[in-house]
Structures are given as C-alpha cells and as structure tokens.
Amino acid sequence: MEQLIIEGGRLVTPQGVREGTVVVNDGKVAALLGPDAPLPEGPRIDAKGRYVLPGLIDTHVHFRTPGLEYKEDWAHGSAAALAGGVTTVMDMPNTRPPGLDEDALRTKAELVAGHAGVDHRFHIGADPANPGLLATLDPDVATSAKVFMAGHHTAPVVFRDRAQLDAAFEAAARGGVRLVLHAEDQQVFDLLDSWRGDPHSYAEYEPHRPRSGAIVAVAQVVELVRRHGTAAHVLHTSSAEEIDLLVAAAREGLPVTFEVTGHHLSFTHADTCRRGPRTRLSPAIRDEPDRERLWQAVLNGEAATAGSDHAPHTVEEKNRTPADAPPGLPGVQELAVSIWTGLRTRAVPADEAARHLVRLMGSGPAALFELPGKGRLEPGADADLVLFDPAERWQMSAADVRSKCGWSAYEGWTFTGRVVTTLRAGRVAWDVRTGLHTPADGRLLPTARRVEAVR
C-alpha cells in the first residue's frame, strides 16, 4: 500500500491535542509530524480545520446475523458505523440461533466474513444452563460474555436463578472473562407486572420498567464482583442511582466499569411520552436528573465507554402496541455526533470534548476489551482515522440513515459536528461527499493476550 499524508489537522493523541500531520504507511500510522515539519512524498488529504481522531470503537452493537438480517445486516451496519466514524465494533449474541457457545460464534464469524466493512469481535452469550463454559472459553473466540439479568424481545436467555448467576460470575473469574451485563432484575419486573399488567401508553412505559429493577440488579452485580473478583462492565446505565453505586464500588477497588449510551444521554422519558416507540428502549429512558448524572459521569471520567446499543427494528415492528413493540433503535451512526453535540451544548471546549470522545470511544474500550492497535492515534497503531468537522451544523433526515431499518430517532435533530472522512487501515472507507468506499474486508480481531502469546 502506498504512503498517505493526512495534512494539517488537529491531532487527538494520547499526549494531548495539537496541530500536525499523520503519515500512514502500509495500513499503520508511521509518524505524527509537527506543523512545520517537511512532508514526505505521497497522496495527501487536507485535514485543515478538522480534528483527526483514531477510528472510533463501539463495543455494543446488534448487527443481527444470523437469523434477523431482514432488519439489519453487516453490509448496512458497517456503512452506518463508518458514516459515524466507527471502524471497530463488538457484536452481541442476540441472534437466531443465539451465540451461546464457541461453535456458534465460529459459525457467525464465517457468515460475517466478506460482508463486514469494519473490524470486529464478538461477545459470547452467557448461558444459565452452562455457566461453566466461561471458565474455559477460548480467547480466540471471545474474551467477554453478555449476561441478561432481565428479558426482552431479542434476549436469548435470562438469568432468573441467583445460583446460576453466582456460578457464571465464579466461572468468568476463573476464565479471565469480562462480563458485560444487562443489569435489570427480572424478578422485580415480574412482581410489578403481576400487579400493574401491561402498559397501555408510552407515558406508562417507564413506570412499567422502572429504575428499581436496575438498582436492584446493579447492587447484585456489585456483591457478586466483591465475592468472586469478576471483571464486570454494566451496559446502558440509565439512572443516577446506578451510577452512584458503580462509582462507589469502583472507588472501593472492585473491578466494575460502566457504559453510557447515546440515547440515554440524548433523550428523557418526556421524549418517549411525545414520540412513542422510537425511544421505547430497554432499559427505559429516565428523567432529566438521570440524564444529567450520566453527563456528569462523562465529564468526570467515571464512565468507561460509550456504546450505541445499535438495535434496529423495522418500522412495522416498532409501531406495535406499547406492550408489544420491541425495544431498541439504530445508533452506531449517530453515537459520536450526538455525544459531541451534547458536550458542546454544555459549553465544553472543543479540545476537551475531543478528548472525552476519544476516551469513551477509543482508548477506553480498546484497553477494556483488549483490542491491540485500536483507539489511539500514535505511531504503530492501525491507520483507522476520522476527520471530524467540529463546527458544521446539519440536520439529520431519513435520507442520511445507513442502517437497513431506514429510520433514526434523531431525524429532525440539528447536530453540531460531522464525520467528514473515515479511513480504515489507511484507506478511505467513507466520505460525506461521495459515500461508501470500502470493500467488505473487515477483520475478526485478535485479543491482546493472543498477540502476546504469538510473540
């Protein structure tokens, strides 16, 4: 591959934000040059007035292969990711059949090969019928496991039995597997459902799946981590109380981290009351004080990652009754720009906002999930790069949506900031003016522990 020069951008590096030029060679970052350094020969991309970010990472997507490709597939999911500056994803096991064992994930990898425009790894599904698998899980297959503590339309299995959950935490600790958790308590929800029944309107939806389920579940997670030493990452935190519990546990020295999502940072329950199924989610969208506590966790550095929980459904599915409409929305394309817009709306200076974004969607997830070469703009890293215009204001419409489902909860939003160009492995994969450029040659990534073993 020939050399490529990304000239004159504002580089977001582990050492800070500065003006400079990126030299790419053979799919890797070869050098970061100062603004006055002589430039080598080769084709150039003008990055003046734009941030140059490392390719972003979304560790929480549902690209629906196998079995649910009618509402998303890896070609469309990859296009949405690249349009949002995301070059690496980690896919969840909510498929048909679900990814609950090593053979299922190996088959999934074969199905995805040749269709993915982004690099990727998979979370295996923790199975309450076989928690011991986590003690012997092959790190070439997965190093993290999704635990559903509550069910919904696409949840393949749910840990309803406390002894099985305890066994999963114990096995994961022995196997060095990080648990990623949908932390809501199904027994709490079952109790409330036996009293209240189904919701009949979207105003009733959040009270139907209230914060109490999440608070009880997070308290259980903290206790199990304390008991077994298991590494645990709580997904899509939604309430102030969850955040406080997890921050307190981390301050105690427990290996617990948590994710914030774009939609919990962007919307409130009032939006769901007005807009209905587009923001019917699991966990439910909470209230304004909860949203502000999530933003505080971003600004304080308490949140470890930001994920999209990209979970497309068709319009027809989402337009079912409030009791039957599946939770979830497409979000991988919108994640970075929604966070950037929120940061700038809160008067966070641009360089500081860029550092927050790269921590949440770059260095943070790369370190947490052992993704070597990803998430850092430095020599030797993969030349996955994003040219980001920090000031462009634009309104999202259905015509902008790259997900196969064809809709976005952000239609009509005016964003500040836009992904102009995305490069993967040193090649332009997406450009806002000319669209998608990448072949479907995304790689199944090794883990850091496997790279070290090979060395």
Q: In this structure, what is the dihedral angle of CA atoms 346, 347, 352, 358, given to the nearest 10 degrees?
A: 40
Closest to 427 (Cα-Cα) out of 379, 382, 374, 371: 382
CA 6 to chain centre: 27
Closest to 267 (Cα-Cα) out of 319, 360, 341, 323: 341
CA 297/CA 303 separation, integer angstroms: 5
Are 25 and 39 a contacting pair, CB within 8 Å?
Answer: no
Distances (CA, A) of 319 to 281, 327, 422: 13, 11, 34
Are 425 and 384 a contacting pair, CB within 8 Å?
Answer: yes
CA 294/CA 48 separation, integer angstroms: 33
Reading phi first (left if > 0) and then psi (alpha if -120 to 50, else beta), residue 37 is in beta
CA 9/CA 232 separation, integer angstroms: 37
∠ CA 280-158-101, nearest 5°, is 115
Distances (CA, A) of 338 to 145, 290, 310, 409, 410: 27, 17, 14, 11, 9
119 is catalytic: no
| Structure tokens, 243 | 């955040």
Placement of tokens 């002894």 in the chain: 163
CA 444/CA 249 separation, integer angstroms: 33
CA 196/CA 180 separation, integer angstroms: 30
- Active-site option among 119, 309, 384, 431: 309
| Structure tokens, 426 | 């040193």
| Structure tokens, 277 | 């199924």
Placement of tokens 């506590």 in the chain: 293
One-letter amino acid identity for 299? L
**Among all residues, which ones are annotated catalytic?**
309
